[in-house]
Amino acid sequence: MRIAVLGTGMVGRTVAGRLVELDHHVVMGSRDAGNPHAAGWLATQPAGRAETGTFADAAAHGELVVNATSGVASLAALAAAGEENLAGKVLLDVANPLDFSQGMPPSLTVVNTDSLGERIQRAHPRARVVKALNTVNADLMVHPELIEDEHHVFVCGDDPAAKGTVAQLLGELGWPESSVVDLGGIAAARGTEMYLALWLALAQATGTARFNIKVVR
Ligand SMILES: NC(=O)c1ccc[n+]([C@@H]2O[C@H](COP(=O)([O-])OP(=O)(O)OC[C@H]3O[C@@H](n4cnc5c(N)ncnc54)[C@H](OP(=O)(O)O)[C@@H]3O)[C@@H](O)[C@H]2O)c1
């Protein structure tokens, strides 16, 4: 599949690299087509299977678009990607609205009655936003087998077919069908984003970022 990965941080580079390994054709997007992180990533990719460009270049390329930008900047990044380049496409949103500007721990900039996922969906009504993978660190996103026990990942979004496409992609990344919990519409992003307050405390308490939720019924 042609996939856009918007974001040149650890998540963007990790997810984009794994998608190339899985034989997808990836364009990594950034504010600046000459972004050094994107260039460094591209240099490690097999020839002809990956490219870099602006957010708009990447979004224009992708049949599916991954938002892996800083949560406080995601609306700006997606505006730069362009409404027309997102229309009708599955937009997999892995971002968390964390503000690190006042130090640690970061604060969530949107909570309770709204979420970043919903804001993105409202800003791009023709995009098919699916929130997923924001509750695990970058390594686990693409290598869930790093935790041997059963553990779970969440999807939510208003378009059932888009959630199906994301669930299929999660399967390619190694998430078994039984590990994917569908939380319903995009408003459920409130919960998965607010979980970050607990995620951050757990990371500090356990000294690792390699942990996840197991839903026991
Ligand atoms: N780190 C993890 O393991 C993890 C796990 C789950 C979810 N997440 C979420 O995944 C997202 C990416 O995280 P990350 O640590 O890889 O990277 P990050 O540092 O949070 O974000 C980097 C990206 O944000 C873009 N950006 C920053 N300021 C911008 C602005 N003013 N306008 C437009 N774009 C801007 C950057 O653009 P340029 O390329 O132009 O510099 C870059 O592509 C975040 O939302 C994070 O909360 C992270």
Residue 45 is predicted with a pLDDT of 98
> Residues of 97-131 as b/e, b for ≥16 C-beta within 10 angstroms?
bbeeeeeeebebebeeeebbbbbbbeebeebbbbb
CA of 47 to the centre of ligand 1 (A): 25
CA of 19 to the centre of ligand 1 (A): 18
Angle at CA of residue 180, ends 99 and 30, nearest 5°: 40
CA of 75 to the centre of ligand 1 (A): 12
Residue 23 is predicted with a pLDDT of 98
pTM of the model: 0.98
Residue 107 is predicted with a pLDDT of 97
- The atom of ligand 1 lying closest to the CA of 8 is 43
| Probe residue for ligand 1, chosen from 8, 11, 98, 110 as the CB with the greatest number of ligand atoms within 8 Å | 11
Residue 65 is predicted with a pLDDT of 99
CA of 70 to the centre of ligand 1 (A): 3
Q: Whose CA is nearest to atom 39 of ligand 1?
A: 30
Residue 28 is predicted with a pLDDT of 98
Digit-coded pLDDT (tens) for 8-39: 999 999 999 999 999 999 999 999 999 999 99
Token pair in block for residue 83: 């409404």
Low-confidence ranges of the chain (pLDDT < 70): none
- The atom of ligand 1 lying closest to the CA of 9 is 16
Nearest to 87 by CA among 125, 132, 130, 56: 125
Residue 183 is predicted with a pLDDT of 98
Average pLDDT of every residue of the chain: 98
Q: How far is CA 142 from CA 18, 61, 94, 171, in A?
A: 7, 22, 12, 10
